[in-house]
Structure 1
Amino acid sequence: MNLKKSLLGIAVVFSAVVLASCGSSSNKSSSSSSSSKTTTSSKSGSYQVTGQTNDSEYAGVIKNGKYLTSKSRGVTANQDSNLMNLKSFETGLQDISKTQFSTTKYVFQEGQYLSKSTVENWLGRKTKSNTTGLNPASNGSTEPTKRNPIYLQSIEEQDYMQKSGSKLKLSGVTIGLAMNSVDYYRKTTYGAQYETDISDATLEKEGKAMAKEVLARLRKRAALKNVPIVIALYKQASNDSLIGGHYVTYSVSNGDSIKKWKALDIQNVVFPLETGETAPNTNDADAFSNFKSEVESFFPNLSGVTAQAQYKNGSLQGMNVSITTQFYSETEIKSFTQFLADQAEKYLPSGVKTDITVSSTTDGVQSFLSRKSSGKSFTTHVFGSY
């Protein structure tokens, strides 16, 4: 259990399967450029935009010299103990946004239209005192199969701006609805925890009904009346899962109604596979197995070697490898990192973003390796004591 929590913590810091590149010193290859495009000002007096490290990422909004943060980030219906859900919920939503709002034409702004109190009310159950609650009213039952569960766990807002003369103008909004696949609850305060399983069909049905209501509420706001609004449904992974959830469908609305949903074929997999599990591509599972065997045979002082991989339409999109060591010597870590770079290049699937995090159960992250989807060699960085 401690190892599992450790791996989760590492993964949250460095990944949501496909990680942002880490600026680093290289023991294997020269590090990629981390210089940003020149930061430009909107010349509105109080707004600026950050630079871009590359055209595949959005520039962000700066207001009064500070990054503009979300008004409601982190608000959830219940405490979510699967940290990977929180990370992949945000990053996956931005991936969907990129299909509608080009990174070269739009600027990303953290959600500014849904306040913390608004989101808290929407995530609550519908009651006489909270008529805006999107989750169903309690039916009084506490039995797992008879009660009305909490379907909606979290709401994420992302705003997309465009330059209009000397100002930034809101030109699109993306909303993520995180839906529970399992609703955890207690019959009494501090009592035992119970679970209500929610089927995929029910999750999608409830999510689409909530999306319709959310769209109607957003359209009542003057600033959101005429902009494109994307709403995406995210399926939360269970609390005991080593992987986060994934998006299942999304819609794009230019009016007052949702006319069409686009299904997403996304699957998260943990390597090594458990008995009876299969991966969309068995070659990837075999490749990781060979990599794991080589690493463990060469360096015996390892507590675990696992990987989280994501597939879209059956095709591998990225892999995040977590390795937990029992090393204490910095020279051991350097040698191990160099060895990893060679073995990863030899065995792990090419053509996909791949990150490897090496950490100790006691001392935290020790080294980090990364390869872009278009790269061959790994960029590496060993964290020293200075």
Structure 2
Amino acid sequence: MNVKRIRTIGLVAVAAIVLAACGNLKNSSFGSTSSSTTTTGTKTTTTTGTADSEFYQGVIKNGRYRTSKSRGVVVSQNDNVMNLKSFESGLLDVSKKVFPTSKYVFQEGQYLSSSTVENWLGRKSSSNSEGLNPENNGKKDPNTRNPIYLQQLEEQDYMVQNGSKLSLGGVTIGLGMNSVDYYTKVEYGATYETDISTTELTAQGKKMANTVLQRLRQRSALKNVPIVLALYKQSSNDSLVGGDMIAYAVSKNGSTSISNWTSLNWKNYVFPATSESKNSGANSNDESDFSQFKSHVQNFFPNLSGVTANAHYKDKSLSKLSVNITTKFYSETEIISFTQYLATAAKRYLPSGVPVEITVKSANGDIQSFLARTAKGSSYYTHVFSDQGDD
């Protein structure tokens, strides 16, 4: 089994989620414009500041954003990048239930190194006693082999301000569990699949979470802080959306085991539905609204390769809509006109009361324009990307 570091798209994705709208340092109680900045010798710790209470402030140390020590380490079988984005944003949403943005500052994981995470993601063996995945039983049949259950593991730290200092207030650990384990019977051979039921991956995830908790408690810095353990069900490689957060638990007062878990009814769907992606849990009105939007957009600009959306649901209610549009045209004037039309059509047809993001890309993947609206907003922010510079 190979463990690898995935591309930097994860860092970009989570930075955008955590630090969105964080340019206003004047709103930070611990930002660089605040007198509460921590200075020890020549070392200075500040925060990014925030312009929106929905987002965490991030930690800046010595003038640089504090990056994770282990982000991007995953087992190599699953190649759906949507899982990474969905996993990290889901972890943030779970963390907000325990560590509110008004009281905590976000810090990328600092306690689990890349080598530690690599060992934990590996199979248990004579050379890796810390492996959380079961040892290889030597079988190749999909139904009798021991699959890789744990695909990725993510650490997020949450800091609190004590006077002029930041100290650790809690930690969230996410366990990304495979719903499908991909494997080969011989090196470079054909790929086979072992399907893993939600019941099985949940049971395995809870067992692994308790092992992780016990290991974390052995570290002096993590001995007594609250620790959130969250389980994420990864989608398959051919899925057009990421997976789902399925459960979380909170360990307080230094406890080393968890028995009480809170189930999460969070789902991701793709609009319009495909034969592989059934939307039986999505609201039909939401899908109908998107269909009207898509129809009008395609009638207005026929040179489109595709109009799809990722719909995020919590407890059967739409919580966010991410629309993706691929164009066949490259004229800047066309993009400007199209973006203006999108802002009008989205306001008219797409569901209100939820955040909406619309990304327009060319056929080769270049982002041409972007539109966004907050849950409370009525109008869309728009931006057209140009290669011509600022004239």
Task: Tell me the TM-score normalized by structure 1.
Answer: 0.90
- Give the Å deviation of 1:377: 1.1
SS at match of 1:56: coil
Which position in structure 2 is the counterpart of 1:6?
none
Q: What is the DSSP-based 3-state SS (H/G/I as helix, E as strand, rest coil) of the residue aligned with 1:331?
A: helix
Partner Cα distance (2:290, 2:52) in 1? 29
The aligned counterpart of 2:24 is 35
Residue of 341, 357, 360 corresponding to 2:359: 357
In structure 2, what is the equivalent of residue 274 of structure 1?
Answer: 274
Q: What CA deviation, in whole Å up to 9, does each residue of 1:59-104 have, x standing for no partner?
A: 1112222111111110012153111111111111011111111111
| Partner Cα separation in structure 2 for residue 225 and residue 354 of structure 1 | 40
- DSSP-derived class of the 2:132 partner: coil
Counterpart position of 2:221: 223
* Aligned-partner Cα distance in 2 for 1:34–1:289: 36
2: CA distance, partners of 1:14 / 1:116: 18
1:113 matches 2:114: no
Structure 1 portions without partners, runs of 5+: 1-8, 24-32
Tell me, yes or no, if the aligned pair for 1:15 and 1:320 is still in contact at 8 Å: no
The 5-angstrom pairing of residues 72-83 of structure 1 reads 72-83=70-81
Output the CA distance in 1 between the equivalents of 2:20 and 2:75.
33
Structure 1 residues 363 and 114 mapped into 2: Cα distance closer, same or farther (>3 Å)?
closer
CA distance in 1, matches of 2:266, 2:299: 33
Tell me if the contact between 2:298 and 2:304 (Cα under 8 Å) persists in the aligned partners: yes
Cα shift at 1:382:
0.9
Give runs of aligned pairs for residues 91-110 of structure 1, distance below 5 A.
Answer: 91-110=89-108
**Structure 2 equivalent of residue 296 of structure 1:** 298
The within-5 A match list for 1:167-178 is 167-178=165-176
Give, as a single letter, the amino acid of the residue that structure 2 aligns with 1:270: V
Q: Show the 5 A alignment for 1:29-178.
A: 35-36=24-25, 37-38=27-28, 39=31, 40=34, 41-45=36-40, 46=43, 47-178=45-176
CA distance in structure 2 between the aligned counterparts of 1:95 and 1:207, rounded to whole angstroms:
19
Deviation of 1:44 after TM superposition, in Å, equals 3.6
Give the Cα separation in 1 of the matches to 2:135 and 2:284. Answer: 45
| Contact 2:60/2:66 (<8 A) preserved | yes
> Measured at CA, do residues 176 and 20 of structure 1 come closer, stay the same or move farther in structure 2, by a change above 3 Å?
closer
- Rounded to whole Å, the distance in 1 between the matches of 2:10 and 2:122 is 27
Aligned residues of 1:354 and 1:370 also touching (Cα < 8 A): yes
Deviation at 1:34, TM superposition (A): 5.5
TM-score, scaled relative to structure 2: 0.89
Query: Partner residue of 2:258?
Result: 258
Query: Structure 1: how far apart are the matches of 2:131 and 2:173?
Result: 17
Separation in structure 1 between the aligned mates of residue 309 and residue 10 of structure 2, nearest angstrom: 13
- 2:341 maps to 339
Equivalent residue in structure 1 for 2:311, among 296, 309, 312:
309
- Report if the CA contact (8 A) 1:42-1:163 is conserved: no
SS of 1:146's equivalent in the other structure is coil
- 1:49 CA displacement: 1.9
Once the two structures are aligned, what percentage of the paired residues are identical?
57
Q: Distance in 2 between matches of 1:189 and 1:121?
A: 22
How far apart in 1 are the matches of 2:199 and 2:241?
21
Q: 1:263 corresponds to which letter in structure 2?
A: S
- Relative to structure 1, the CA distance from residue 157 to residue 96 in structure 2 (aligned partners, 3 Å threshold; closer, same or farther) is same
SS at match of 2:192: strand
Q: Provide the C-alpha distance between the structure 2 equivalents of 1:12 and 1:219, rounded to a whole number of angstroms.
A: 27
For CA contacts below 8 A with separation 6 or more, give which structure has more relative contact order. Answer: 1
Letter in 1 for 2:302: P
Moved more, 166-175 or 220-229: 166-175
Question: Is the alpha carbon distance of 1:230 and 1:21 closer, same or farther for their aligned partners in structure 2, counting shifts above 3 Å?
Answer: closer
Letter in 2 for 1:339: Y
CA distance in 2, matches of 1:119, 1:283: 43
For structure 2, the residue ranges without an aligned partner over 5 or more in a row are 1-6
* 1:319 alignment counterpart: 321
SS in 1 for 2:70: coil
8 Å contact from structure 2 (residues 310, 323) kept in 1: yes
Match of 2:3 in 1: none
> d(CA) in 1 for partners of 2:263 and 2:233?
13
8 Å CA contact retained: 2:77, 2:181: no
Q: Call closer, same or farther: CA 1:19–1:370 in 2, change over 3 Å.
A: farther
Distance in 1 of aligned mates of 2:340 and 2:164:
50
In the alignment, structure 1 residue 285 sits paired with structure 2 residue 293: no
- SS of the aligned residue for 1:99 comes to helix
State the aligned residue count: 367
Q: Residue by residue, what CA displacement relative to the aligned partner does 1:194-239 show, whole Å, maximum 9, x if unpaired? A: 1100000000000000001011111111111100000000000101
Cα distance in 2 between the residues matched to 1:230 and 1:280:
28
Structure 1 counterpart SS, 2:369: strand
Name the SS for the 1:269 alignment partner.
strand
- Aligned counterparts of 1:14 and 1:215: Cα–Cα separation in 2: 28
| CA pair 347-203 structure 1, distance change in 2 beyond 3 A | same
Alpha-carbon spacing, 1:170–1:15, altered in 2? closer, same or farther (3 Å)? closer
CA contact (8 A) 1:42 1:168 kept: no
Report if aligned partners of 2:244, 2:268 keep a CA contact under 8 Å in 1.
yes
Q: CA deviation at 1:20?
A: 7.2
Q: 1:22 to 1:355 in 2, by over 3 A?
A: farther
